[in-house]
Amino acid sequence: MKEIKVEVMGPEPACVRCQAAKKVVEKAAEKLKQAGMTVKVEKVNIISKEIVGKYGLLVSPAIAVNGIVKVMGRVPSEEEITRLMKEAVK
Amino acid sequence: MNEKAIRKFRTALLLILVSAIVGYLIYTRIMAYSLAPTLEPRDFSKYAWYEIPFQFLWDYFSHGWICLLFAFVTAGLVYEFIPKQTITKYMSSSKVAGYAIGAGLAPFFTVCSCTMVPLFAGILYTGSGIGPAITFLLMAPAANILTILITGEFISWEIALVRIIVSLATAVLAGVVISKTSWGKAIEKEHQTSKNATVAQQRVELVKVLLDERLISALKFGGFLAKQILPYFILGLVVVSYVEAFLPQELVGGYLTGVTGVLLASVVGGPLYTPTLVEIVLGRSLLQLGMSKAALLSWLMGQPYDIPNMVAVSRIVRWKVVLTYALIAWACSVGFGLLYGIVTSSL
């Protein structure tokens, strides 16, 4: 089984909406883990040079699944992020 | 009912709701209702001290609720439907595009300071440099969609329009000047990533979202903004109600008019950190008490160099750049305040 890596990108210290995004992602990840998938959730700083170099200019909160930015500037629903994570390992 | 029908129904319902809000605002405009509060400073003398905030709040919300609702809904919609990816892509493509987008689109992009600092850093890192980054930073709080709508409805559209124009001039000027200074260039060099920004953009494949979900997310964001801003706004109104009731008119008329008024308003406007939108209410009250329109403009322009904002930015670009842009912003608020006063003979 392939691993799913989710990066939740927001400023440091985290803004309210980035925290909300992280919560949704963690909730979805927890459920997928229980279903036997390997999910890694990471909170990364959107203001770091590394992230900007990797993804370019982003609007926070942004969510990348396995190295591809899927969501930018909004908080997705748990349903949606679950679907995105599942698609990434298909 | 199948899922498609439910979605269609939901989309229609949401569109009706949004149209109703917009429609009602247009209706009030046609019927020429006043959306601005109607109490005058002297009206307060008939109330007991504890009644003042309630009367003031009632005055604001009974007239202005539709305007506030409209502002928050619009802010949510604009933020949701603005093509973020296109903008972020072009923003880092060249210097001129950077300035144009930084200045022209920042108002629509940022209604919430939590997106502002990251975008500022992003613009700086992705290669359009420190100039557009500073322009964006100064333009965003000075002329965002919430501020403009509320300024226009509660004070006057003339002031709102002038505020946009002078903020634009200030922001571009500050950006250009800083990009020419040696310390500005140093920061730019330090932060430039060698990687090409267009390469990075290829790793962005945003998922498409259906219209009903986008509308819900837009309204949610509007609600989120309201939740963030309104508590401070109401608290601010309580304080302002006492200012309007008890600050002697002679004092305001004596100090906040003429050249002294512009200078004083510009100095107080920045460091006196007022929560979003409260500066507009306080400005309106001071205007009622006799502050000149020129001083009001300087007062409103004082926002971008407020202290918390500067601290966040200074972590990225150091104090020298922050002080330079604060100084330029201050000088411009004085300069444009005086100019506006002379042109409209309202000094």
Model confidence at B22: pLDDT above 50: yes
Size of interface A-B (CB pairs under 8 A): 106
Cross-strand partners of B98? none
Which among B80, B30, B230, B241 is positioned nearest to B150, based on CA atoms? B230
**Partner-chain contact B197 A67, CB within 8 Å:** no
Report how many domains make up chain A.
Answer: 1
In tens, the pLDDT along B233-276 reads: 898 889 889 888 888 888 888 888 888 888 888 887 766 666 67
**Partner-chain contact A56 B201, CB within 8 Å:** yes
pLDDT score at B198: 47
Chain A closest-CA separation from residue B295 CA (Å): 34
Model confidence at B58: pLDDT above 50: yes
State the pTM of this model: 0.80
- Do β-strands A62-65 and A68-72 pair in parallel, antiparallel, or remain unpaired? antiparallel
Side-chain half-sphere CA neighbours of B270 within 13 A: 25
**Partner-chain contact A11 B118, CB within 8 Å:** yes
A88–B contact, CB cutoff 8 A = no
For residues A38 and A57, give the distance between their C-alpha atoms in angstroms, rounded to a whole number. Answer: 29
- Domain of residue A46, residue span: 3-88
CATH code for the domain in which residue A7 is found: 3.40.30.10
**Partner-chain contact B114 A16, CB within 8 Å:** yes
Chain A closest-CA separation from residue B57 CA (Å): 27
A54–B contact, CB cutoff 8 A = yes
pLDDT score at B39: 81
A5–B contact, CB cutoff 8 A = no
**Partner-chain contact A68 B195, CB within 8 Å:** no
pLDDT score at B106: 74
Residue type, A75: V
Of A10, A16, A56, the CB nearest to B200: A56
